[in-house]
Amino acid sequence: MTTATHEETLGFQTEVKQLLHLMIHSLYSNREIFLRELISNAADACDKLRYQALDNDALYEGDSELRIEIEHDAEAGTVTVRDNGIGMNRDEVIENLGTIARSGTAEFLKQLSGEQQKDARLIGQFGVGFYSGFIVADDITVRTRKAGTEQGEGVEWHSKGEGEFTVADIERETHGTEIVLHLKEDAGEFADDFRLQSLVRKYSDHIEVPVRMPKVETARDEDGNEIEGSETTTWETVNEATALWVRPKSELSDDEYKAFYKHVAHDFSDPLTWSHNKVEGKLEYTSLLYVPGRAPFDLYERDGARGVKLYVQRVFIMDDAEQFLPLYLRFIKGVLDTRDLSLNVSRELLQQDPQVDKIKSALTKRSLDMLKKLAKDPEAYQTFWNTFGSVLKEGPAEDHANREKIAGLLRFSSTHTDSATQDQSLADYVSRMKEGQEKIYYIVADGFNAAKSSPHLEVFRKKGIEVLLLHDRIDEWLMSHLTEFEGTRLVDVAKGDLDLGEIEDEEEKKAQEETAKAKEDLVKRVKEALGDEVQEVKVTHRLTDSPACVVLPEHEMGFQMRRIMEAAGQAMPEVKPILELNPEHALVARLEGVEGDGFEDLARILLDQAIIAEGGHLDDPAAYVKRLNALLGA
């Protein structure tokens, strides 16, 4: 019997209490996931010991055959999962089993709704897999000792999942961790040999560490009768125990790929797609990359954990090797196993290894090719885009070499459908371009409705020219780095002079020049009335229904990006807009006949309205209202 000393009782972190309450009282579907999580954690512990033992073989303590063992006792109602991996010391036990040591914990808990199916899929995404043991157990004991420490430095952790746990020092001969689950009355099904073996094969067949279970064999006499007292127990490996990624693709089923993804990504939903590839030659490596079906909660934390699991010749090196994929592909999960990196790699050495850049370039192209293939299934790709599209939009600025490939994967809203759904590709747009059209036109706004209703679209609707409607916060920054697609320029319709090229015939252009000349006096008067508030005033042919609009110089930062930068506390240089007037509009015609102060008031109303139509903010809204009221009362 284990003798415990230095025992203390501690309270769980508040978030853990909430999580345990959910585990114990709400989750009844998918109860079997507890075994997958505990085996996955045990496999990680074995991987970590194997890596640390590269520099210190003594950590194995004479037991280098890494393994996971599962036992059950139907009479006692227990299931035990043990490993001879790295183990934990007292501080690590308190840290790892008393808190949810992962960023975004509060956001995770917000997502917990009490809906069994939904919440079951969330478990594991935040490193909380250990607590899933309380779905089936009302009492859990953990005994562990960190490899390389003295036998007297073992630790025993115990809890009934009711808000507190005890930690005590114990003597423990072996390193690694043993978890004893005392099953709830309604969870007795798991204290069954066949049930446990089937779960191992279902969820953990791909685990490289052998998962073993005891097998009792009884000797028989010549007549085939069992010999009493001849029982012997052997350990039988019940999983494939071969790294899945090194097996030929022809031997692997979709279910095996999906199960491995759930192990790698700590996700309970299926991936959208995957790519398994082996490279031989100057570089030798195997990669297995996945596109998740759901986003992690820290997706937009650019400093959050990301990257692939890195192995060197099947030796685990690190969980989040971020050096092998660019930041805009941080949602990609998977495994990289290579022969071309030295075994003593660290993050610093990885950054200096020239092979890393070559592998990164290759994995980036493979990831983009995987997305291109996924795009052939519009429904699946739309799921991807709705989840990760905003992150992929970071690509053109970060990865010049693959800018064209990334551009082909982007999706936008468009006047072609007038739908807020971003489902139109640049290739779709080009295929619908009118005869004589030489540019891809787009507009950026704070929201879809603002983009769809912009006065700048009036002439395009009149002539049946499609315009992309960009309404994500990142869109203007994206377009500043994406200036063409397959040789066709992308043009912001709210910037610079409007040039529809051959779509306008010579007669239209001549009429526009004559109108501009006829309105020279009006334009001059409006500029004098508005003074320094505008850079320039001119007549325009881009409007059909609105009296005026504001335009920025072609290479100037747009209104949306300026507002975002200012909201972030960034001081922005003053930029004066260009006011363009619609010479056919009744308000502009009325303006020509007004004299004195009334002319300046009406000119300012037209400017203020144009700014509001662009989603801008007026410096003096009260003055605008006063002028408008005076106009309405005239």
**Is 401 domain-assigned?**
no
130 is in an annotated binding site: yes
Q: Are 603 and 591 in contact (CB under 8 A)?
A: yes
Q: Are 47 and 40 in contact (CB under 8 A)?
A: no
3-state secondary structure at position 103: coil
Closest CA to 163 of 8, 373, 44, 11: 11
Tokens of 127: 């490193």
Say how far apart CA 515 and CA 351 lie, in whole Å. 62
Do 225 and 253 sit in the same domain of this protein?
no
| Residue 564, pLDDT score | 67
Do 376 and 273 sit in the same domain of this protein?
yes
Residues 539-580 pLDDT 10s:
988 888 999 998 888 777 766 676 666 666 767 667 788 899
83 is in an annotated binding site: yes
388 is in an annotated binding site: no
Q: Are 524 and 534 in contact (CB under 8 A)?
A: no
Question: What CATH number corresponds to the domain at position 174?
Answer: 3.30.565.10
Host domain of residue 418:
411-503
Total structural domains within the chain:
4
Do 530 and 562 sit in the same domain of this protein?
yes
Is the pLDDT at 608 greater than 60? The verdict is: yes
**Is 252 domain-assigned?**
yes
**Is 400 domain-assigned?**
no
Closest CA to 190 of 38, 84, 42: 38
Query: How confident is residue 162, by pLDDT bands cut at 50, 70 and 90?
Result: confident
Say how far apart CA 29 and CA 268 lie, in whole Å. 13
**Is 405 domain-assigned?**
no
| Residue 147, pLDDT score | 96
Say how far apart CA 101 and CA 499 lie, in whole Å. 57
Query: Lowest-confidence range among 136-140, 162-166, 479-483?
Result: 162-166
| Residue 7, pLDDT score | 83
For residues 289-297, give the mean pLDDT: 87
Do 286 and 330 sit in the same domain of this protein?
yes
H or E segment and range at residue 319: strand 315-321
More confident residue, 133 or 467: 467
366 is in an annotated binding site: no
Domain boundary among 333, 367, 385: 385
Query: How confident is residue 409, by pLDDT bands cut at 50, 70 and 90?
Result: very high
**Is 206 domain-assigned?**
yes
Is the pLDDT at 301 greater than 60? The verdict is: yes
Query: How confident is residue 3, by pLDDT bands cut at 50, 70 and 90?
Result: low
Residues 71-124 pLDDT 10s:
999 999 999 999 999 999 999 998 888 765 443 344 444 555 555 444 444 444
Do 82 and 149 sit in the same domain of this protein?
yes
For the chain, give the percent of residues with pLDDT over 90: 44
H or E segment and range at residue 276: strand 273-279
Tokens of 229: 């007292």
Say how far apart CA 4 and CA 459 lie, in whole Å. 82
Do 520 and 584 sit in the same domain of this protein?
yes
Is the pLDDT at 416 greater than 90? The verdict is: yes
531 is in an annotated binding site: no
Do 9 and 54 sit in the same domain of this protein?
yes
96 is in an annotated binding site: yes
Question: What CATH number corresponds to the domain at position 542?
Answer: 1.20.120.790
Domain boundary among 488, 503, 518: 503
Count Cβ atoms within 10 A of the Cβ of residue 606 and give its class: 0-12 exposed, 13-18 middle, 19 or more buried.
buried
Query: Lowest-confidence range among 407-421, 442-456, 593-607?
Result: 593-607
127: region left, alpha or beta (phi > 0 left; psi from -120 to 50 alpha) = left
Most confident residue range from 9-18, 186-195, 528-537: 186-195
Is the pLDDT at 181 greater than 60? The verdict is: yes
Question: What CATH number corresponds to the domain at position 494?
Answer: 3.40.50.11260
| Helix axes 254-265 and 193-203, enclosed angle (nearest 10) | 90
How many whole angstroms from its chain centre is CA 457? 34
Is the pLDDT at 224 greater than 80? The verdict is: no
Rounded alpha-carbon distances, angstroms, from residue 343 to 54, 242, 277, 310, 313: 8, 21, 22, 11, 9
Query: How confident is residue 29, by pLDDT bands cut at 50, 70 and 90?
Result: low
**Is 458 domain-assigned?**
yes
Domain boundary among 452, 470, 503: 503
**Sign of the four-CA dihedral 200, 201, 204, 209:** positive
| Residue 295, pLDDT score | 82
37 is in an annotated binding site: yes
More confident residue, 457 or 231: 457
Say how far apart CA 136 and CA 336 lie, in whole Å. 35
Do 558 and 487 sit in the same domain of this protein?
no
129 is in an annotated binding site: yes
For residues 359-366, give the mean pLDDT: 95
Count Cβ atoms within 10 A of the Cβ of residue 52 and give its class: 0-12 exposed, 13-18 middle, 19 or more buried.
middle
125 is in an annotated binding site: yes
561 is in an annotated binding site: no
Neighbouring residues of 583: CB distance < 8 A, sequence distance ≥ 6: 515, 518, 519, 539
**Is 393 domain-assigned?**
no
Q: Are 203 and 36 in contact (CB under 8 A)?
A: yes
Do 494 and 514 sit in the same domain of this protein?
no
| Residue 428, pLDDT score | 95
Closest CA to 316 of 81, 85, 92: 85
Tokens of 541: 């042919």
Do 528 and 492 sit in the same domain of this protein?
no
194 is in an annotated binding site: no
Residues forming a β-bridge with 142: 157, 179
Query: How confident is residue 25, by pLDDT bands cut at 50, 70 and 90?
Result: low
98 is in an annotated binding site: no
126 is in an annotated binding site: yes
Do 293 and 221 sit in the same domain of this protein?
no
**Is 403 domain-assigned?**
no
Do 489 and 564 sit in the same domain of this protein?
no
| Residue 104, pLDDT score | 39
Question: What CATH number corresponds to the domain at position 323?
Answer: 3.30.230.80
Q: What is the residue whose two structure tokens read 């994406």? A: 482
361 is in an annotated binding site: no
Closest CA to 69 of 187, 194, 239, 218: 239
